[in-house]
């Protein structure tokens, strides 16, 4: 029996691809990836619907290097889609050899994403991965050059499809045919396409050389404000307040209004840097601004502390902060 490794995002396109391959009596193994910028949650959920197991590979560190310095261009944000896909294809190729799998398949559709899903980009991917004519895209296969598996007759090309463009009508019709009732709505999935996050990431690249997972996760929460060499992050809800407290490092400062509901504020301070009074003042003002009850008061007390250190108090009168130890 022919074995295929399907790059599986968990979206409808990859679910349909699995069904189309199963119709040709092909054994399918699902492969998904996770990184600092996207997870495999949807892949796991959709694999359960298909009653299949999915293998997960963490490419976080390699992917971060690519995001910092892509060989090809960025998309609408800091998303180097072609470089990212190439990394995934190369990882899949390693599994082919190790597990004696015949070929790779993807749920890509010609023209669905004009910058990264076109014939030229497909050719670049296959050439650089050393897999020319060895990556099957069943949903658009009849619009592309035949793979060697179609040429040999291992795959019946007539049973493959010719879908192109961004319309979802054909996929919705196929979902009904295959009785797939639960599937995710189309979305980017990768936070690198978000303009706000991309701008925050650019700023992080400009100010810090060694970046870890915690740095990336902090970019995903709260309101961000520059403060000289530091950064002020204001929680927007209870969940973010909890996340901010958890992600604070030893040198960072946490801040909350004393005895009044409001946000948790995090002052991210570079290592071996002393906190400046002007930054404490700005953080205190912002903390008060984003508390509905505190806004109405002429004076509030603001707690600030480092992890496992003694709590100190700021006295905030109007817009002026007075340090009260």
Is the pLDDT at 321 greater than 50? The verdict is no
Is the pLDDT at 225 greater than 60? The verdict is yes
pLDDT at residue number 165: 93
Q: Which CATH superfamily is domain 3-191 in?
A: HUPs (3.40.50.620)
Share of the chain above pLDDT 90, in %: 78
φ and ψ of 12, to 5 deg = -60, -40
- The β-bridge relationship of strands 54-58 and 27-34 is parallel
Compare 310 and 19 and report the one with higher pLDDT.
19
pLDDT at residue number 56: 98
pTM: 0.88
pLDDT in tens, 284-304: 999 999 999 998 888 899 999
Cα 23 from Cα 25, distance rounded (Å): 5
- For 129, the enclosing helix (H) or strand (E) is helix 119-129
pLDDT in tens, 168-189: 999 999 999 999 999 888 765 7
What mean pLDDT is reported for the chain? 92
φ and ψ of 8, to 5 deg = -120, 110
Residues of the chain with CATH 3.40.50.620: 3-191
Share of the chain above pLDDT 70, in %: 96
pLDDT in tens, 51-66: 999 999 999 999 999 9
Tokens representing 75 are: 């998309």
Region 247-273 average pLDDT: 93
């Amino acid at each position: 029996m022919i074995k295929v490794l399907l790059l599986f995002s968990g979206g409808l396109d990859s679910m349909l691809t699995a069904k189309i391959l199963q119709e040709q009596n092909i054994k399918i193994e699902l492969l998904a990836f996770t990184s600092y910028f996207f997870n495999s949650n949807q892949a796991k959920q959709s694999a359960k619907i298909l009653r299949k197991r999915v293998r997960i590979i963490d490419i976080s560190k390699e992917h971060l290097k690519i995001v910092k310095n892509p060989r090809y261009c960025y998309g609408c944000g800091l998303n180097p889609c072609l470089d990212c896909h190439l990394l995934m294809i190369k990882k899949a190729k390693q599994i082919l050899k190790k597990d004696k799998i015949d070929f790779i398949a993807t749920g890509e559709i010609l023209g669905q994403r004009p910058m990264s899903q076109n014939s030229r980009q497909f050719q670049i991917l296959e050439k650089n991965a050393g897999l020319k004519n060895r990556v099957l895209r069943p949903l658009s296969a009849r619009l592309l050059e035949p793979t060697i598996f179609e040429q040999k007759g291992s795959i019946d090309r007539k049973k493959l499809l010719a879908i192109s463009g961004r319309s979802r009508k054909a996929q919705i019709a196929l979902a009904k045919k295959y009785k797939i009732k639960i599937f995710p709505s189309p979305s980017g999935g990768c936070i690198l396409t978000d303009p706000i996050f991309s701008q925050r990431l650019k700023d992080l690249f400009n100010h810090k050389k060694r970046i870890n997972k915690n740095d990336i996760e902090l970019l995903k929460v709260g309101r961000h404000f520059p403060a000289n060499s530091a950064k002020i992050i204001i929680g927007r809800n209870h969940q973010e307040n909890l996340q901010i407290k958890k992600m604070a490092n030893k040198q960072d400062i946490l801040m909350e209004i004393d005895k009044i509901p409001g946000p948790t504020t995090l002052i991210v301070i570079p290592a071996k840097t002393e906190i400046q009074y002007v930054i404490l003042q700005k953080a205190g003002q912002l903390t008060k601004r984003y508390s509905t009850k505190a806004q109405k008061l002429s004076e509030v007390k603001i707690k600030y502390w480092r992890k496992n250190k003694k709590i100190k108090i700021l006295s905030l009168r109007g817009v002026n902060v007075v340090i009260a130890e």
